Every structure is written in C-alpha cells, then in structure tokens.
Amino acid sequence: MTADLYPSAKDLLATLVGFDTTSRGSNLALIEWVEAYLDSLGVPHRRVPNADGSKSNLLATIGPADPGGVVLSGHTDVVPVDGQPWSTDPWTVVERDGRLYGRGTCDMKGFLALALAAAPELSKTARRPVHLAFSFDEEIGCLGAPLMIDVIRRELPPPALVVVGEPTDMVAVNGHKGIATFKVTVTGRESHSSQTQQGVSAIMAAARLMNSLTDLSERLERQADPASPFTPRGPTLTIGLVEGGTAHNIIARHCEFVFDLRCPPGFSTDQVLKDFRAEVAAMDAALKARAPEAGVVLEKRTDVPPFAPEPDGAAEAFARRLAGDNGPPRVVAFAAEAGQFQQAGFSTVICGPGSIAQAHQPDEYVEVSQMQRGASFMRRLIEWAAEA
C-alpha cells in the first residue's frame, strides 16, 4: 500500500511558510533549504538567479534527462502582511477547523509542498522526468520565471507539458488574463498656492489623466463581449496607487500613480491605451509650454502575457486525469506564469490547491481537504512517472 503524501506535505508547508519570502526581500533562505532537501534525495538542481544574485529561481530534474517530462511550476514569493489584521502569526502554519492558516499556504506554497512531498518517491521510481521549477518575484509582475523558462527551453530535453500550481481548487484551468502595469509620473512647478499663475500643479494634471483612465475603464466594461468566459468579461483597468504633493498650500511639483490593465487573450494593451498615450503626449507638451522642467512620463513596468485555451491541450488533459476533473472548461481573471510558459511553446495548464478567494488576505488559508486532493494528484503523478 502506498503512503499518504499529505502528512509530509503538511510538514513541508510549515517549513516553507516559515521563510518570509515577501517579494520586497530575498527568497534565498528558502531556496537554500530546498536545495539541501533535494541534495538529501540525490536530486540534481541549479539556480537561475536575478541580475544581482539577491533572488533566484530553482530548477531541478527528478528522473532521467529525457524528453517528454512534466514541469511542476510555482512561485516562492508571497505578498506582504503589513497592515493586515491577522489573528495568527502569518509565518507559522496553524491548523484550525479543517484549514491551514499562514501567509502563502494558498498562494502558493501548498503546491510547492506537495511537489516536494512527492520528490522522495519520485527520486526512486521515476522513469519519466519530473522537473521542479520554483520562481521568484511572481507577485510583482512574473519577473523571475522568464529567466528559468529560457533555460528550460534551451538546455533541457523538451518537456511535454507544464502544470502551474496556482490555487484553482484542484481543478484544471486553461486560460487567464494578462496583466500590464504602468507608472505615470507628472512633474509640475512648485509655488505658493495663492500664486497659481506661477506654478504648475502636478496633482491637478494627474487628476485629469486619472479621470481619462476612469472613463476608459467604464467604456471597456460596457463594451465587454457578453460571450466571454472571463469574470469580469472584458479588459479591466484599475488605478492602485497615487502619491504626490507636499502641503495643502503648495502647488504640487510631483505626482505619480500606478495602474494595471488586465486583458483576455486577443487584446493588445498598446491598442487599448492608444488614445491615452496620445493624451499623455499632448499634456506633456502643454505642461512644458508653461514650465520647461514640467512634463509627463508614461512607463510600462511589467507585461505578463495572457494564457489562451489550447484546443485539445495535452497539459489540460493530463491535469484533468490526475485530478479526477470532468468539469467544464475554466478560465481565471488573475494573471500567472502560465502565459509565459505557453508563449515559450509549452502545453500548459493551471491546477493547484486552494482558492484565489483566500489569496492575499489576512488569515490566508488552504483547506486540508484541498491539500489531500493535491496529495492524490501527486500520487497519480508518481504512478505516471514510474511507467515505462
């Protein structure tokens, strides 16, 4: 009788959650621990670091270096807990009422723990390769995965498919929206607020641009295709951060804001923002006419491609078989690294424990039952990998 992987996965989850891998910091302590764990199993691995070496992806291959394997992909970073009203220590897994609480339990260290729980048996029995692909900085724009995907594409025997373990309630998801993030920086000229003829208000100029984006957001909502499988149906645009000004009686020299645009497959972010870019250029010229040092800069910070459903996708069929999923096709509104894998030519699916409704929340949790379903998924994966 085969062993239940859940108890091991639960212990591994507690260890992984204990590492504060908030994206603003380093993930190297967690990476070093996973490396030691893999070393104990005789599993070869390598780092794919960022430019300054402060963070790293981890890539490992269990089983033979043959084509046709599966990639289990997940990110190691988590979102901040700052200002959230947690009732437990976010860096300690607490089990209560059938749930495992802690930052990252759902998004997405639960999947990483399940993959690592399967590694000991895979290291002894796998006749097909299983690749572990653990990334950094997913939460701030899927910045780390492209470096690792490039290594997989260039240096590994071609994998047959990729499973990205974002939380989907352990059912297969075959599409997600893309996300592009932008920063708008407006520079004006400071003066006393009574002397409006001397100053140029960066905040008031930024407000006009934000109003245009609000109008665009509402227009996109009205024009959404009623047949779209996504919720919300069409592209969405939100302004998430605004900073500027010094005091109420100083005309503001500086204001900046950040917005994100999430588009389903088939949309071009450049086309959606064409009119806004023209407005930015016109305002930049108008502000410079009043003060040479003034102006507007629109900067694209990140651009994560959407993930499009694959007709008869091999990865989706694989995940459905292992998860026991016979449900309808599903897509999600959040962005993930699946689109990056697909863009590199890999058949890809999203399937992992937990619900996105619990991600990024105070008292984040994953249901024990979800981890148990994930353990069954990994058990079937072990069986698949052991086949000739």
Helix, strand and coil content of the chain, in percent to the nearest 5, comes to 35, 25, 40
| pLDDT for the residue 95 | 98
138 is catalytic: yes
Decide if 259 contacts 238 (C-beta within 8 A).
yes
Name the architecture of domain 178-304: 2-Layer Sandwich (3.30)
Tell me which of 35, 77, 107, 169 is the catalytic residue. Answer: 77
Q: In a 3-state reduction of DSSP, which class is residue 237?
A: strand
Contact 348, 315 (CB under 8 A): yes
* Whether the Cβ atoms of residue 107 and residue 356 lie closer than 8 Å to each other: yes
Q: What is the CATH number of domain 6-175+307-386?
A: 3.40.630.10
Q: Are 172 and 328 in contact (CB under 8 A)?
A: no
Tally of helices (H runs) and strands (E runs) in the chain: 10, 13
User: Looking at residue 106, what is its pLDDT?
Assistant: 97
CA 31 to chain centre: 18
How remote is the C-alpha of 383 from its chain's centroid? 29
57 CB contacts (<8 Å, ≥6 apart)?
47, 48, 49, 133, 134, 135, 136, 144, 145, 147, 148
**What's the CA angle centered on 139, arms 133 and 140, to 5 degrees?**
115
Each residue's pLDDT expressed in tens, for the chain with a length of 388 residues: 468 999 999 999 999 999 999 999 999 999 999 999 999 999 999 999 999 999 999 999 999 999 999 999 999 999 999 999 999 999 999 999 999 999 999 999 999 999 999 999 999 999 999 999 999 999 999 999 999 999 999 999 999 999 999 999 999 999 999 999 999 999 999 999 999 999 999 999 999 999 999 999 999 999 999 999 999 999 999 999 999 999 999 999 999 999 999 999 999 999 999 999 999 999 999 999 999 999 999 999 999 999 999 999 999 999 999 999 999 999 999 999 999 999 999 999 999 999 999 999 999 999 999 999 999 999 999 999 999 6
Could you tell me where the DSSP H helices lie in 42-127? 110-125
Distance between CA atoms of 105 and 83, rounded to whole angstroms?
19
pLDDT, residue 388, reads: 65
Query: Does the active-site annotation cover 77?
Result: yes
Reduced to 3 states, what is the DSSP secondary structure of residue 269? Answer: helix
Question: Pick the catalytic residue: 35, 137, 138, 364?
Answer: 138
List, in sequence order, every residue forming a beta bridge with 161; answer none if it has no partner. Answer: 70
Domain boundaries, the chain: 6-175+307-386, 178-304
Tokens representing 282?
A: 């016109």
SS3 225: coil
CA distance 303 to 175: 17
Helices within the chain (DSSP H only): 6-17, 28-41, 110-125, 145-155, 202-222, 269-272, 274-290, 314-323, 338-343, 368-386
